């Protein structure tokens, strides 16, 4: 179940029965799976993406990246995985689709922040 014991108790205290809580939990898991699939499909087939990533020693506000792959997995409402560029990569610790042409990922070690990626520089 997606909800912790405390969250489940709070939902019961608010008047929800167990079947409703389980249905809500399943909806969260399904929405997370869908979001991960959409994020992966954004990167699939794109050789180049652009980002607002803050990169040391770069004077540009927009970065260009050659994408090798984006491999994500889910657990309850967590999206995790790895985004690999041509010469480096970063762990993914969450993300969301902003539009058809723009996504946002929370990247882990080496980046430690939220980064927007777009198919076109103008979308940033």
Per-residue pLDDT band for 2 (boundaries 50, 70, 90) equals confident
What are the sequence ranges of the domains in the chain?
Answer: 5-123
Q: What is the pLDDT of residues 44-73, one digit of tens each?
A: 989 999 999 987 667 788 999 999 999 999
| Contact in structure between 62 and 19 (CB atoms under 8 Å) | no
97 token code pair = 């689709």
Q: Model-level pTM?
A: 0.87
| Contact in structure between 104 and 111 (CB atoms under 8 Å) | no
More confident residue, 76 or 32: 32
Residue 7, pLDDT > 90, answer: yes
pLDDT of residue 60: 84
CATH number given to 5-123: 2.70.180
More confident residue, 55 or 41: 41
């Amino acid at each position: 179940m997606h909800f912790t014991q405390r969250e489940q108790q709070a939902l019961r205290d608010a008047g929800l029965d167990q079947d409703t809580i389980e249905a809500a939990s399943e909806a969260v898991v399904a929405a997370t799976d869908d979001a991960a699939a959409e994020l992966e499909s954004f990167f699939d087939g794109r050789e180049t993406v652009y980002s607002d990533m803050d990169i040391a020693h770069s004077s540009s506000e927009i970065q260009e990246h050659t994408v090798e792959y984006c491999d994500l997995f889910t657990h309850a409402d967590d999206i995790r995985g790895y985004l690999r560029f041509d010469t480096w990569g970063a762990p993914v610790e969450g993300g969301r689709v902003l539009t058809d042409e723009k996504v946002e990922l929370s990247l882990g070690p080496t980046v430690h922040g939220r980064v927007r990626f777009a198919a076109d520089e103008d979308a940033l």
